[in-house]
Structure 1
Amino acid sequence: MYIEQGYKGSLGTWNFFVIPVLFMLLMGFNYVSTVMLLEESDQSMEQMMAQMIDVMGRNVFLAVNLMIFVVGLLGIFIWVKFINQQSLTSLTTSRKRIDWKRIFFMFGFWAAFSAGSILLSVYLAPENYELQFDWNRFLPLLIISLVLFPFQTSFEEYLFRGQLLQGLGIATKSRAVAWIVTSVLFGLMHAANPEVEKLGFSVMIFYIGTGLVLGAMTLLDEGLELALGFHAANNITAALMMTASWTAIQTDSIYIDVSEPTAFTLVDMIPIFVGYPILLLILGRIYKWKNWKEKLFGRVQNRAYFTQQNPELDTNINNEL
């Protein structure tokens, strides 16, 4: 009953939408401002990013862009803990304690898979990649990635699969609506990425599909732990191992993709429509998930029923860690 954990707050349902709405307004303002600036300067997003990187350096540019998520994550935690008076545990999981083993297992599993996939791509098409490994530049990147990327990925998870999923679920009483809407919004958040400009809007299928699998993990496992591990592993591995001049993340990675980007095709969708379901089946086997249909498409219990099943709710809310 992960969504129902939202009842453990002291404010109304509206509180779940304050930070997400502010963030989306900020993203919208940033997108419009960027488009206007590009039109005035007659530049592409790739050219603008290249200029900024030339001035700041890749590692500094990356760190500056990630720092905003440190502030964002702390903002969510402060709002939840001190204003809504909901425990961070109940925002994270339906379990009594956050299951760190789940986070680290998923991180290691997906990091190994992602690294293996990148190395396989290099092996199969070596002409598309250049080795640019430089230990003096890679070591700072490694430190920045391990320290700051978890803030970025955790912010997005607590925002979309945490506050928004719980808020929409409680507001609509529908797990499916909460799951699908948050996944679409997660995808749209990436609309301003330079990858969309290069690969076409069809690449949004990848972002929305990733949102769907992360939301499914959260609902089926009744907690954010697996999604937190997956997202952190995905971004950290990509930053350390592969970059390209036209991607949102510009790093001094081990390899650089020098191939000419092409439109997102049906072949590119195989990992989404085949790989992600297989991943869910594997996790379901490991963690013995049951009642898939109910967890993904069932009704969210109302507050009265949830309180009846959890009589300690009203007295222990403010005592949880």
Structure 2
Amino acid sequence: MFIKQAFNYQHSFWRYLLGVSIIIFAVILGQIPLAIAMFMEGGMDIVGMEETEMLKVLDSNLNLFLLLLTFAVGLFALFFVVKYIHYQPIRTVTTSRKKIDWGRFFFGFGLVAIFSISVTAFDYFSNPQDYLVNFQPEPFFIMLVIAVIMIPLQTSFEEYLFRGYLMQGIGVLVKNKWFPLILTSVVFGGLHFFNPEVTKMGNIIMIYYIGTGFLLGIMTLMDEGLELALGFHAGNNLLTAVLVTADWTAFQTNSLLIDISDPTAGVDILIPIFVVYPLFLFIMAKKYGWKDWKEKLTGKVEDPIVDNYIQNTDNS
């Protein structure tokens, strides 16, 4: 099992505390180049600015690169922690399979990419008054290169941290699956509370962020690996950055379209959680033959040493 693999390596609680501390410290260090660049460009005027205004201090492509650099530094630190604090191969915090299944990654990526492009195209042609065409070749293609390289690093950091490292660490500590699923999903969603989208649309959008955490966590546990979640998260964020931006979003990019509508979040925010996300899971379940949902999502995580002891006792 995906979580159970951590028992085979150094999984003491203090190692996870140390590991998380190192990762947090690395993320803070990764923010320094962005902070310096903003201060050099905006001076003391950036103090007290709202987040959406701070995002406009720098050129959008430079801002995007430096923002994503933070997550790249965090990913490097996470891999360092896994390898040198837990002495665990990166593969085993990625998947329970003998090797990483890139076919699963690209299936998850393609599924959300097709959905995002279809929904954006439908809304654009249904409500053209809500959009401005923003295609400018040079800044767009610079942004595209940055996004293709850096966004997968950002999303991989979040997936390896929440659905990989912490899912395994909490799982071997509490010896079940439901608690790490709930905790990592709520914390993942909760960290989005400071996004400008929440300020603009209200706290109700937190249902979407936490629900997305549950979607990615369920993918990981049912499929016994991160591949689908890695691809899905990368596809979602990459297409979001490339297709549409707005002056109230965390990603300020040279996208193809600018959304100029006044966003609201109400009951419609529940549609992705209770309609679209179950559909994604249904498609994946059919393709990969997922079974025994209750056991995979809520079952126990037994120490293999205990299993071997019981087996040897039974045999004797």
The alignment's TM-score, normalised by the length of structure 2, stands at: 0.88
Look up the match of 1:284. 285
> Given the alignment, which residue of 71, 76, 79 partners 1:77?
79
Is 1:265 matched up with 2:266?
yes
Displacement of 1:131 in angstroms is 0.6
Alignment of 1:3-82 (within 5 A): 3-21=3-21, 43-50=49-56, 52=57, 56-82=58-84
Displacement of 1:163 in angstroms is 0.8
> Taking structure 1 as reference, are residues 196 and 22 closer, same or farther at Cα in structure 2, changes over 3 Å only?
farther
Q: Deviations over 1:48-105 (max 9, x none)?
A: 322x2xxx21001000111111111111111111231101111001111111111112
Q: Which runs of 4+ in 1 moved over 6 A?
A: 25-28
Q: Distance in 1 between matches of 2:26 and 2:300?
A: 32
Look up the match of 1:111. 113
Displacement of 1:16 in angstroms is 3.0
SS of the counterpart of 1:219? helix
SS of the counterpart of 1:174? coil
List gaps (5 residues or longer) in structure 2: 36-43, 311-316
SS of the counterpart of 2:88? coil
Is 1:135 matched up with 2:141?
no
Identity of matched residues, %: 43
Q: Output the amino acid matched with 2:183.
A: V
More displaced, 208-217 or 122-131?
Answer: 122-131
Q: Distance in 2 between matches of 1:198 and 1:7?
A: 44
Q: Deviations over 1:207-240 (max 9, x none)?
A: 0000000000000000000000000000000000
Q: Is the 8 A contact 1:103 1:225 kept in 2?
A: yes
Q: Output the amino acid matched with 2:266.
A: T
> Taking structure 1 as reference, are residues 218 and 17 closer, same or farther at Cα in structure 2, changes over 3 Å only?
farther
Q: Distance in 1 between matches of 2:260 and 2:180?
A: 39
Q: Output the amino acid matched with 1:251.
A: T
* Equivalent residues, number: 301
Is 1:220 matched up with 2:222?
yes
Q: Deviations over 1:15-69 (max 9, x none)?
A: 23434355568889x9xx9xxxx9x95543222322x2xxx21001000111111
Look up the match of 1:163. 165
Q: Deviations over 1:191-211 (max 9, x none)?
A: 111011111111111100000
Is 1:123 matched up with 2:130?
no
Look up the match of 1:208. 210
SS of the counterpart of 1:86? coil
> Taking structure 1 as reference, are residues 136 and 291 closer, same or farther at Cα in structure 2, changes over 3 Å only?
same
Is 1:238 matched up with 2:240?
yes
Q: Output the amino acid matched with 1:295.
A: K
Q: Is the 8 A contact 1:17 1:167 kept in 2?
A: no
Q: Is the 8 A contact 1:2 1:219 kept in 2?
A: yes
Look up the match of 2:175. 173
List gaps (5 residues or longer) in structure 1: 310-321
> Taking structure 1 as reference, are residues 120 and 306 closer, same or farther at Cα in structure 2, changes over 3 Å only?
farther
> Taking structure 1 as reference, are residues 140 and 308 closer, same or farther at Cα in structure 2, changes over 3 Å only?
farther
> Taking structure 1 as reference, are residues 129 and 308 closer, same or farther at Cα in structure 2, changes over 3 Å only?
farther
Q: Distance in 1 between matches of 2:307 and 2:187?
A: 28
More displaced, 224-233 or 299-308?
Answer: 299-308
CA RMSD, 1 decimal: 2.6
Q: Is the 8 A contact 2:189 2:209 kept in 1?
A: yes
Displacement of 1:162 in angstroms is 0.6
Displacement of 1:7 in angstroms is 1.3
Q: Is the 8 A contact 2:171 2:179 kept in 1?
A: yes
> Taking structure 1 as reference, are residues 67 and 297 closer, same or farther at Cα in structure 2, changes over 3 Å only?
same
